[in-house]
């Protein structure tokens, strides 16, 4: 176990870096030493935003050889991850990689094996597992409040075509993925389904994985998939053409059901004791709960406690695992299970 902070470098200074850098700037577990990006302006802006006195590099391999960091955050577009992860492992660094780590389960397996051979941790980001509402849902499920989980519905409705995913004048960030823009978001839905249901492998996957808008840059912009895993059923949807924006999750069990939304969090539990004649009392209680959630959400927006608020918790857990030589909070088995189910879903778009 090491007590000194881990020397850390970041590759990629785009939007997602602004979710990783606050942790690196403040945590006693990390000592930022370098940033790397092809854009000098983006690097300088990121360093200034968090008052980081670090070295700046345009070339990742040069940075890795010069700095020899203990931990590297790979925050670049997915099609670049494999090369950069391998380069970091080759210089004896642990790696935290943004999702999706690769475009296929085979590529993910190869990187996991490379990390195993190097004796280093490789962790794909799953920050939503560390959000308040997901922690709450998992605790209730594990305590048996829902009974045996039978269904899990997850809907991400977001007009991502209005941003860089749909801008025909840009390259990246999803153009290198076989599943297009949807695949950039899909791992979130898959790992949440797996974590909330306890499922890993799927017995069957069916549904639509298509391009509805005709936007050629997006590749695929709509997903509506049914997943069956043993006694558990799941419905995973990504849609760019419905409003309002939402990240809605509903889990139903043999005793009760629970629902939340990661964009505007609330918890709505339906089940005992408010069933039958007392159901109306449950609705009244739920109404008061929604009022409280509305006030909490307003406060959170002022505090900038947004959808990514689980990121510091996840990173702290990973850094603790590295320092203590323990298994990371996101295991290789879990990463492979997500990659394999993602492959099955993306394959729906390749069928004639």
Which pTM value belongs to this model?
0.95
Q: Is the dihedral of CA 72, 73, 77, 79 positive or negative?
A: positive
Identify any residues that bridge with 209 across adjacent strands, giving them in sequence order: 223
Q: Count CB atoms within 10 A of the CB of residue 243.
A: 9
pLDDT at 72 over 70: yes
The structural architecture, per CATH, of the domain 129-261+342-350 is 2-Layer Sandwich (3.30)
Residue 1 has pLDDT above 80, yes or no: no
Q: Which of 111-120, 141-150, 226-235, 292-301 has the lowest mean pLDDT?
A: 292-301
Which pLDDT value is given to residue 299? Answer: 84
State the fold for domain 6-124.
Rossmann fold (3.40.50)
Half-sphere exposure of 239 (CA within 13 A, CB side): 17
**pLDDT tens, residue by residue, 133-154:** 999 999 999 999 999 999 999 9
d(CA 193, CA 338): 9
- What average pLDDT does the chain have? 94
Q: Where does the chain hold its CATH 3.30.360.10 domain(s)?
A: 129-261+342-350
The pLDDT value recorded for residue 173 is 52
Average pLDDT over residues 186-204: 97
The tokens 């850390």 sit on which residue?
8
| CATH 3.40.50.720-classified regions of the chain | 6-124
What's the pLDDT at 344? Answer: 97
Q: Averaged over 233-254, what is the pLDDT? A: 97
The pLDDT score that the predictor gives to residue 206 is 97
What percent of the chain has pLDDT above 70?
A: 97
Residue 225: band (very low, low, confident or very high) from pLDDT cuts 50, 70, 90: very high
Coil, helix or strand at residue 350: helix
Residues 6 or more apart in contact with residue 179 via CB below 8 angstroms: 103, 186, 209, 219, 220, 342, 345, 346, 349
């Amino acid at each position: 176990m090491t007590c000194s902070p881990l020397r850390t470098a970041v590759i990629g200074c785009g939007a997602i870096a602004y979710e990783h850098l606050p942790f690196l700037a403040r945590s006693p577990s990390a000592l930022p030493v370098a940033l790397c990006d092809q854009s000098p302006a983006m690097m300088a802006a990121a360093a200034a935003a968090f008052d980081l006195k670090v070295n700046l590099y345009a070339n990742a391999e040069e940075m890795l050889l010069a700095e020899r960091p203990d931990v590297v955050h790979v925050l670049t577009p997915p099609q670049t991850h494999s090369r950069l992860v391998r380069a970091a492992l080759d210089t004896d660094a642990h790696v935290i990689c943004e999702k999706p780590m690769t475009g296929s389960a085979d590529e993910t397996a190869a990187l996991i094996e490379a990390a195993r051979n190097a004796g280093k941790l490789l962790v794909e980001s799953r920050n939503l597992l560390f959000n308040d509402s997901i922690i709450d849902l998992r605790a209730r499920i594990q305590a048996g409040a829902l009974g045996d989980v039978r269904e899990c519905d997850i809907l991400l409705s977001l007009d991502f075509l209005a941003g860089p995913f749909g801008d025909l004048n840009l390259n990246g960030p999803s153009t290198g993925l076989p599943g297009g823009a949807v695949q950039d978001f899909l791992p979130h839905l898959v790992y949440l389904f797996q974590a909330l249901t306890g499922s890993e492998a799927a017995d069957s996957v069916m549904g639509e994985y298509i391009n509805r808008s005709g936007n050629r840059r997006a590749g695929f912009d709509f997903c509506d998939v049914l997943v069956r895993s043993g006694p558990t059923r799941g419905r995973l949807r990504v849609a760019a053409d419905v409003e309002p924006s939402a990240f809605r999750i509903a889990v139903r069990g043999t005793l009760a059901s629970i629902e939340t939304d990661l964009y505007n969090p609330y918890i709505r539990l339906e089940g005992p004791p408010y069933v039958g004649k007392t159901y109306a009392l449950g609705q009244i209680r739920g109404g008061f709960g929604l009022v409280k959630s509305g006030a909490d959400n307003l406060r959170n927006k002022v505090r900038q406690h947004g959808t990514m608020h689980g990121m510091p918790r996840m990173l702290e857990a990973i850094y603790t695992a590295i320092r203590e030589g323990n298994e990371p909070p996101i295991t290789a088995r879990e990463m492979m299970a997500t990659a394999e189910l993602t492959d099955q879903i993306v394959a729906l778009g390749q069928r004639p």
